[in-house]
Structure 1
Amino acid sequence: MAIIRPFRGLRPTPELAEKVAARPYDVLSAAEAKAEAAGNQYSFYHVSKSEIDLPEGTDVYSQSVYDKAAENLQKFIKEGTLFQDNTPCYYIYRLIMNGRTQTGLVCASSVSDYNMGIIKKHEFTRPDKEQDRINNIKTTRAQTGNVFLAYNDVPEVNSLIDHWIHANAPAYDFTAADGIQHTVWVVNEEGAVNDITSLFSSKVPHTYIADGHHRAASASLVQKEFEEKQMIGTDDPANFFLTTIFPASQLVILDYNRLVKDLNGLTKEALLSRLEYDFTVESIGHLPQQPSMLHEFSMYLEGTWYRLVAKEGTYTTDPIGILDVTILSNNVLDKILGIKDQRTDKRIDFVGGIRGLQELVKRVDSGEMKVAFALYPVTIQQLFDIADSGNVMPPKSTWFEPKLRDGLISQMI
């Protein structure tokens, strides 16, 4: 069963919450973060993307970036921008996007649960991304990146959370510039805290990582290092990591699309010819079109969109083989374009569906990338099925929206 516990959250004073809140560190570039933080001394980008405060061209993985993050975090604490709750609490975090609501529980989840598979994964991680988070956590001594977990609905948990929301005023409630409403309640009453802990330990056999595989893996590796060096005890915060757990019924997965820098030595005509072995290929013009069903893909190449429909025999019916990300990986990225490991190959990049197909057009038309592929999104049940089977999806298979904001709740370790 899932082991969770309350913790003393590090969070902004109510009047500064909206200014502090920042998009997750891994969904935007340093240039985008610098533009968003312009004129806002309270923005959490000064911690999560601290390269914005260093000379342009600074290596984002250099120790100076992690040192600056730690310096800025301590400055926020010293100046009172952030404060730490006096007692361990749970936090309820509700997001509303385009009229759709999802409400999660912010808690500290057990590293041991992650190591033993009670917290289930569906992706491998990239070593360079893991090391980045390890360096950040060790230098700042804080977990500032929230891991987004999901669980099969438990009516008693949903009821308890709903009751708290209706009976108590929120600590924060604001609508960000992108139109997403963020509301946070602090659960600090001992009876309610104990009830939540008990419900998860008795009613929730597993949780699933929806978003944040690298953050979870890094927390585990930091805990292991601290334990080996005898730096922590049994009850130390580093034995847990920052998570927000959402009921599956409230979640929606968006597409997660691919960009490739070159055609692996092929001409456009040769690529189209090779694709016809495994797909029906149809030119659909200059306007972007989302795939409308499973096993259908949209490809953008040299100013033209193409519809690709996978032929029978290009996929299997097992939980992994039937996924569109698997079909694309096996029959295009690997077989034709020579991309064997999407976690490490620098020729491929990934774009979440929230950015829209125009982001694919922009990056191809600029010459930065040569070809783009848009995919039909996987379902939350497919994610659960794969995690339950012990398999993993190809990297960057799921994109969840809306996303939690960094800076609203962090855990010190």
Structure 2
Amino acid sequence: MAIIKPFQAIRPTTDKVAHVVSRSYQNYSRRELNAVLSYNPFSFLHIINPGYKYHKNVKGQERFQLVHNRYLEFLEDNVLTKDPQDSFYLYQVESAHFNCSGLFCAASVNDYRTNVIKKHETTLQRRESLFAKYLETVKFNAEPVLMTYEDNEEIARILAKERGRPPAYYFTTTDKVTHRLWTLSDKKTITSLQSAFANIDSLYIADGHHRSASSNLLAENSERHNPSHTGNEPYNFFMGYLIPDSQIRIFEFNRMVKGLNGLSKEEFLIKLDALYRIENQGDILYKPTKKHHFSMYLDGEFYSLYLRKKVYQFTDALSKLDTQILYKTVLEPILGIHDLRKDKRIQYGHGKHNAIKMKDAIDRGRFTVGFGLVPVSIQEIKAIADAGLVMPPKSTYIEPKLRSGLAIYEL
């Protein structure tokens, strides 16, 4: 039973929304970031890069406090305003290649603790603690946790009806993505959605494991220091964006490795031959097409690798995952990469032209060998989360990637 709550969002005013919302700041090049900060005074990037105002790089608690200050300035200047009543927010993203509709809501920290909200990635305690301290200081969520749920006819019917109304926001950003947002404040609609989600057994985190873990840590810390704790305080919830399984898009991360762990090319191929049927595909761009099938680029040539299933045993949902198979058969035992998060010999790539970029990086000598995979499916993600297992890092690149500053949840 999934609990969702409406909330009074802090949102950009209608005339400025297209100027306020931003991509995640990590997705901007340094030049692009400076251009936005220089020429767009309304960008949410000013809030999360507060040192720009003083031409200074700020870190740690000083940065957190300045983020809070910039946020207050945006409220004081009426760039951001608080909605007068609790609402859900239906948000649609549409481009030439992608379309999804989801719901901004307040998700329950208790659901996270009791595994109604399910995870498939591990989190780093250091990052959890740092972001919990950030939330405690800035006092808002601006980036929702992306979660999926099993397609549901009743939820789809309610949201389709709401999309028939004029949206509160309707704008297109410079990347040719069209954004629409509806406020759902009618009490009957809110109750209907809450009842429908009460019949959903599980929500699955698609993107935002550290954000949800940090929100849980913040709630634990806040409860300890609040003798009047009731369970209804804002810190007991975090902002989520919920979409049905069928509307999520999952892409693969390729793997690129420096060196062959002291092996010659021939020695490396012979070791691979024990676990894979290897076919040389020449210099023509080659990508895998099915599960347990990999592409490899080495010394100017592509290879197809077909897993020899008689020498690899499937024991659970994780053992069937291609990223885990590659790790257990090649990256760890042959190439000596034990820590996929920290080993500097391995890097990851994603994107429409990633196979070409991987080839180019290897041809330039930055890496020695690269591996291509097919994308993980939503069914695989759910099977691993249901089993309480954890996927290797960089197993999925998931869309939609949501804008910051479109809806803000105050803590």
TM-score normalised over the length of structure 2: 0.89
The residue type paired with residue 316 of structure 1 is F
User: Does 259-268 or 188-197 show the bigger shift?
Assistant: 259-268
Measured in 2, the distance between the counterparts of 1:205 and 1:291 equals: 35
Secondary structure (helix, strand or coil) at the match of 1:14 reads coil
Matches for 1:104-253 after TM superposition, within 5 Å: 104-166=102-164, 168-201=165-198, 203-230=199-226, 233-253=230-250
Measured in 1, the distance between the counterparts of 2:36 and 2:352 equals: 17
User: Does 338-347 or 370-379 show the bigger shift?
Assistant: 338-347
The answer as to 2:259 corresponding to 1:259 is no
Partner of 1:14: 14
Instruction: Describe the superposition over 1:185-205 as per-residue Cα deviations: whole angstroms up to 9, x where unpaired.
Output: 11112221222122212x111
The answer as to 2:290 corresponding to 1:290 is no
The residue type paired with residue 407 of structure 1 is G
Using the TM superposition, give the Cα deviation of residue 157 of structure 1 relative to its aligned residue in structure 2, in angstroms: 0.9
Instruction: Describe the superposition over 1:349-397 as per-residue Cα deviations: whole angstroms up to 9, x where unpaired.
Output: 3333356334434554565544432210011111112212222221222
The residue type paired with residue 277 of structure 1 is A
Measured in 2, the distance between the counterparts of 1:49 and 1:366 equals: 34
The residue type paired with residue 295 of structure 1 is H
Are the equivalent residues in 2 in contact too, given 1:125–1:343 (CA < 8 A)? no
Are the equivalent residues in 2 in contact too, given 1:253–1:378 (CA < 8 A)? yes
Unmatched segments (≥5 aa) in structure 1: none
Secondary structure (helix, strand or coil) at the match of 1:318 reads coil
Measured in 2, the distance between the counterparts of 1:259 and 1:87 equals: 50
Secondary structure (helix, strand or coil) at the match of 2:220 reads helix
Are the equivalent residues in 2 in contact too, given 1:354–1:401 (CA < 8 A)? no
Measured in 2, the distance between the counterparts of 1:24 and 1:355 equals: 21
Structural RMSD (CA): 2.7
The residue type paired with residue 186 of structure 1 is T
Measured in 1, the distance between the counterparts of 2:43 and 2:6 equals: 26
Unmatched segments (≥5 aa) in structure 2: none
Instruction: Describe the superposition over 1:147-176 as per-residue Cα deviations: whole angstroms up to 9, x where unpaired.
Output: 11000112111111111111x211212222
Measured in 1, the distance between the counterparts of 2:99 and 2:154 equals: 19
Are the equivalent residues in 2 in contact too, given 1:174–1:182 (CA < 8 A)? yes
Measured in 2, the distance between the counterparts of 1:288 and 1:43 equals: 40
User: Does 38-47 or 363-372 show the bigger shift?
Assistant: 363-372
Matches for 1:10-409 after TM superposition, within 5 Å: 10-25=10-25, 27=27, 33-34=33-34, 37=37, 39-48=39-48, 58=57, 62-166=60-164, 168-201=165-198, 203-230=199-226, 233-286=230-283, 288-312=285-309, 313-316=311-314, 318-354=316-352, 356-361=354-359, 363-364=361-362, 369-409=367-407
Using the TM superposition, give the Cα deviation of residue 210 of structure 1 relative to its aligned residue in structure 2, in angstroms: 1.0
Secondary structure (helix, strand or coil) at the match of 2:385 reads helix
Secondary structure (helix, strand or coil) at the match of 2:15 reads helix
Are the equivalent residues in 2 in contact too, given 1:97–1:402 (CA < 8 A)? no
Measured in 2, the distance between the counterparts of 1:223 and 1:32 equals: 36
Instruction: Describe the superposition over 1:239-259 as per-residue Cα deviations: whole angstroms up to 9, x where unpaired.
Output: 101101111122221112233
Secondary structure (helix, strand or coil) at the match of 1:309 reads strand
- Aligned CA distance change for structure 1 residues 367 and 67 (closer, same or farther; 3 Å): farther
Using the TM superposition, give the Cα deviation of residue 143 of structure 1 relative to its aligned residue in structure 2, in angstroms: 1.0
Measured in 2, the distance between the counterparts of 1:371 and 1:209 equals: 32
Instruction: Describe the superposition over 1:315-365 as per-residue Cα deviations: whole angstroms up to 9, x where unpaired.
Output: 516321111111111112211222223244444333333563344345545
Give the number of aligned pairs. 409
User: Does 187-196 or 344-353 show the bigger shift?
Assistant: 344-353
Are the equivalent residues in 1 in contact too, given 2:254–2:354 (CA < 8 A)? no
Are the equivalent residues in 2 in contact too, given 1:257–1:353 (CA < 8 A)? no
The residue type paired with residue 235 of structure 1 is N
Instruction: Describe the superposition over 1:30-89 as per-residue Cα deviations: whole angstroms up to 9, x where unpaired.
Output: 566445655222222233455766768x58x64444344333322222222111112111
Measured in 2, the distance between the counterparts of 1:366 and 1:71 equals: 46
